[in-house]
A and B are shown apart, each in its own frame.
Chain A
């Protein structure tokens, strides 16, 4: 008997949602970021969104939230599929202080909310990423609570943290409070584009990973944007 008719039609299969990679950018928008730093940061963020959108897998799986902090913290982009973001966010410099802790706490709250939404919708997701960028020292004590909170999540394997200092004024000691696994790195000058290119490539690799696969960071690539001693 012929087996030519033994065929499965696509209509008889199911489609599950793509696994998501939630990434939250927690960015300093304080007064000291005014001028070139903010311009370069915005250019980097634009490149980041563009790079993710240009990769078919990352485009379907990456979800980026953006939180800015100065006197207070504000979520300027909530987590959503990249397809729904028509233009990358424009981060405005508010001229205020550096409430780093408020920014991180808000970023973590948003991540928790998004994870609950994934769970309720039956969407699988990868370890969330927190990218923390600041050029100064915290001007409130909120970071004393946010730091241990972030580290606890990191120790439990529930988050990957990238603390990045911008310029010589960045308080690397404070940034180190947020991660026990990834030491804070200082950006080479205002080389935001190289950092965000590296970040997008790292997201692409994670979004393509399979169960049981550990994705190692491109350590060599870090040299392209970080000041390494």
Chain B
């Protein structure tokens, strides 16, 4: 594999039937940050979060965390990659600091922003790192076969999972990276998903990954990121949503040749100004796309 690869990413979230019935909102959120740090120094970071149903601001936690972490991850990837064994504690610490600020600004507790997190950063030299707390999963396509890189982490019971706001989040955060002892082979595609689609995409007992991801990752080779994101949203709505009551989110990243990538690139929707906690980000070098925040539910809902 050459060092001149490019990566393309698409993501979508749709509200679950139970939230819709309760006139609630989608508590999943995603963000994709493309960092252009100079020639041969391009990095793509994607973060998917699922706000805790039990937390009053879980949905906000998911939005803030996904945008902030995707941006931070891309900007700090080189540093993190130099010492991956410290990545979990660094990432947890920065997330808690950001969420504490957000909580102070909203005069609430950090726990009210509880959400899970699945994130992946990949550089144009194909090196990558994955970060995961809670349920949902991260899978990679190696030599044509999908393998779990980080499986759902739950407590004994079905409605128990782990969140970025937990006191022991640094211990719960699992980090995988290219060449770590648990991985062999170079993925040519990745997929991240929340627990709403987990049951449709990964066998909890065997780790088998659904063939559907073959198609989805290949879409990015011939269609633009925006087109694939729109197609993902349609499929989540039409195919996945009927199989669960939960919000559904799916993100895919595919390795493209430079030629393919040049044709597929689209200008990103917006630059990241400041994250919700008021932490300044290095905007000039970052393009951020993210899930749309749903309007507030009607009063009394």
CB-CB under 8 A from A206, the residues of chain B are 159
Q: Is A208 in contact with B245, judged by CB distance below 8 angstroms?
A: yes
Q: Is B160 in contact with A211, judged by CB distance below 8 angstroms?
A: yes
Q: Is B158 in contact with A125, judged by CB distance below 8 angstroms?
A: yes
Chain B: interface residue total (CB-CB under 8 A): 50
Does A183 reach chain B (CB closer than 8 Å)? no
Closest B residue by C-beta to A20: B158
* Chain A positions 180-229 with a Cβ under 8 Å from a chain B Cβ: 206, 208-215
Q: Is A122 in contact with B201, judged by CB distance below 8 angstroms?
A: no
Does A10 reach chain B (CB closer than 8 Å)? yes
* Chain A positions 110-135 with a Cβ under 8 Å from a chain B Cβ: 121-122, 124-127
Q: Complex Cα distance A20/B40, Å?
A: 50
CB-CB under 8 A from B97, the residues of chain A are none
Does B223 reach chain A (CB closer than 8 Å)? yes
Return the contact of B215 from the options A8, A14, A121 (Cβ within 8 A): A8
Does A19 reach chain B (CB closer than 8 Å)? yes
CB-CB under 8 A from B199, the residues of chain A are 14-16
Q: Is A57 in contact with B157, judged by CB distance below 8 angstroms?
A: no
Q: Complex Cα distance A16/B206, Å?
A: 11
CB-CB under 8 A from B240, the residues of chain A are 8, 13
Q: Is A127 in contact with B200, judged by CB distance below 8 angstroms?
A: no
Q: Is A212 in contact with B53, judged by CB distance below 8 angstroms?
A: yes
CB-CB under 8 A from A15, the residues of chain B are 199-200
Q: Complex Cα distance A213/B115, Å?
A: 11
Q: Complex Cα distance A212/B49, Å?
A: 13
Q: Is A14 in contact with B203, judged by CB distance below 8 angstroms?
A: yes
Chain A: interface residue total (CB-CB under 8 A): 31
Q: A12-B211, A19-B158, A209-B159 are in contact. Are A3 and B227 (CB under 8 A)?
A: yes
Q: Is A211 in contact with B159, judged by CB distance below 8 angstroms?
A: yes
CB-CB under 8 A from A10, the residues of chain B are 239
Does A158 reach chain B (CB closer than 8 Å)? yes
Return the contact of A13 from the options B161, B230, B239 (Cβ within 8 A): B239
Does B204 reach chain A (CB closer than 8 Å)? yes
CB-CB under 8 A from B245, the residues of chain A are 57, 208, 210
Q: Complex Cα distance A122/B50, Å?
A: 23
CB-CB under 8 A from A20, the residues of chain B are 158
CB-CB under 8 A from A19, the residues of chain B are 158
CB-CB under 8 A from B227, the residues of chain A are 3, 6
Does B48 reach chain A (CB closer than 8 Å)? no
Does B140 reach chain A (CB closer than 8 Å)? no
Q: Is A9 in contact with B212, judged by CB distance below 8 angstroms?
A: yes
Q: Is A211 in contact with B195, judged by CB distance below 8 angstroms?
A: yes
Interchain nearest-CB distance for A7 vs B (Å): 7
Interchain nearest-CB distance for B93 vs A (Å): 22
Q: Complex Cα distance A19/B199, Å?
A: 10
Interchain nearest-CB distance for B26 vs A (Å): 13
Please list the 8 inter-chain residue pairs (A to B) with the smallest Cβ-Cβ separation, ordered nearest first: A122-B205, A212-B52, A213-B53, A6-B231, A12-B212, A19-B158, A211-B161, A124-B158
Q: Which residues of A contact B (CB under 8 A)?
A: 1, 3, 6-10, 12-16, 19-20, 57, 121-122, 124-127, 158, 206, 208-215
Q: 21 A–B contact pairs at CB < 8 A?
A: A3-B223, A3-B227, A6-B223, A6-B235, A7-B239, A9-B239, A10-B239, A12-B211, A12-B214, A13-B201, A19-B158, A20-B158, A57-B245, A122-B206, A125-B157, A209-B159, A211-B161, A212-B55, A212-B58, A212-B116, A214-B54
